[in-house]
Chains A and B, each alone.
Chain A
Amino acid sequence: NAGVMQNPRHLVRRRGQEARLRCSPMKGHSHVYWYRQLPEEGLKFMVYLQKENIIDESGMPKERFSAEFPKEGPSILRIQQVVRGDSAAYFCASSPDSLNSPLHFGNGTRLTVT
């Protein structure tokens, strides 16, 4: 039973390039969440999606960041025109269709912007 799968594990981008982070939730989970973690800090919520719908994007920067969870395929977190401040670990989590069930996290994508 595979857990939450994220790829790539490491991603290096130059300033101004685009970063695409992918997340496949656990089997049977239809809720996906993206979090960002800066070094030595806790995770910060970015966005919550269900299939084809963004439910809560209150933690997502208004510019350059977008997320989707299409009917088929993984969830994608897209960062356009990356800047050095975007360097962080980005974690995806998923949960089944139940309120307040524990989130299961992937091992993250570590984005480095040079």
Chain B
Amino acid sequence: GESVGLHLPTLSVQEGDNSIINCAYSNSASDYFIWYKQESGKGPQFIIDIRSNMDKRQGQRVTVLLNKTVKHLSLQIAATQPGDSAVYFCAESPIYGGSQGNLIFGKGTKLSVKP
């Protein structure tokens, strides 16, 4: 079936380095992709999103890249800080079937930042 998944379940980086978290999706009809950050005991926090008509979008210290050819999504965090330690989820919104808000989440990548 259609699914969203992550290549790496855990990622450990040194403070100040850049982090790259990857995500593969299988539904080529998906129109909208989102990255969420979830800290322990909290709900997912929106980081950045991208529509399928774009291949790159930048926010504050974060960049999302979308490669529709290979159905790959990545989140780049510049100058990673200890406060970035969390689990990161990618999610997709299918253009068909599911309603607005019926997001399909990946399993998550745990980012650990070493001081």
Contact = CB atoms under 8 A, between A and B. Distances in A.
Interface of A: 4, 6, 31, 33, 35, 40-45, 48, 55-56, 58-59, 91, 93, 95, 99-100, 102-108
Q: Nearest 10 A-B pairs (CB), nearest first?
A: A42-B105, A105-B43, A56-B99, A102-B46, A100-B32, A33-B101, A107-B43, A43-B105, A105-B44, A45-B102
B101 A42 contact: no
Nearest to A49: B101
A41 B102 contact: no
Size range of the interface on B?
Answer: 20 to 34
B107 A41 contact: yes
Nearest to B36: A105
Nearest to B47: A102
B49 A102 contact: yes
Contacts of B34: 102-103
B25 interface: no
A4 B100 contact: no
B103 interface: yes
Interface of B: 31-32, 34, 36, 41-46, 49, 51, 89, 91, 93, 98-108
Contact of B43 (A4, A31, A48, A59): A4
B101 A106 contact: no
Contact of B100 (A43, A100, A105): A100
Contacts of B45: 105
Nearest to A55: B99
Given A91-B43, A106-B43, A58 B102 contact: yes
A70 to B, nearest CB: 19
B41 A107 contact: yes
